[in-house]
Amino acid sequence: MLQIYAACAVRGCSKRCMRQNEACASTTRCAARIEVTLEKIYTTNVETEFGVFRLAATSKGIVYLDLPNACGRGFPSWVERHARGAKCILNHEVTQIYVHELQEYFAGTLRKFTIPLDLRATIFQRAVYRELQCVPYGKTCTYGELAAHIGNPKAMRAVGTANAMNPIPIIIPCHRVVAAGGKLGGYAGGRELKERLLALESKQFSLSC
């Protein structure tokens, strides 16, 4: 009887060990899958006469552009909200195409960006950003006009909020939106940067006329 009990105990232990091993193997496989599918975000700094911009891009396109002296929590906050767990990698080669166009823009030789965007935004924000990209180089529009263009003329405050949350400024040109009555309005990068960007575009636009 004692031998039978001992044998059963051994079999029970074996079953428990097998279950534990299977659980460990399953956890390992899951961890491996997570490691393989972990999103990669490539970053670099873009040095210009307007300041240093931090650029971030995925294999699909640019996802974020941090303005010099920008207010708010910036890139770390964006990652936490839109790309939690992503692996950020400093890489100058992958980001070179984005750096090149930005440098051309700041030099006054580029008016329309052609680089791909990996935009992460709400449906409303996407509507605002599409219209922003239609505002011509060297021109401006008001928050009210922008709201009307997206079919919601009463949404001026919401449009302003969307502008403030724009993850890819310059390329999505929220600096071209001004307040009614000719006032400059706010800008995440500060009033001085907005004035300089508008002056750059206005100067180059005038030279081409």
Residues classed as catalytic: 174
Q: Where are the beta strands (DSSP E) in the chain?
A: 40-48, 51-57, 62-66, 87-90, 141-142, 177-178
3-state secondary structure of 135: coil
Length of the chain in residues, anyone?
A: 209
Q: Give the residue carrying structure tokens 């750096």.
A: 99
CA distance 174 to 181: 18
Q: Sheet containing 62-66: give its strands across.
A: 62-66, 51-57, 40-48, 87-90
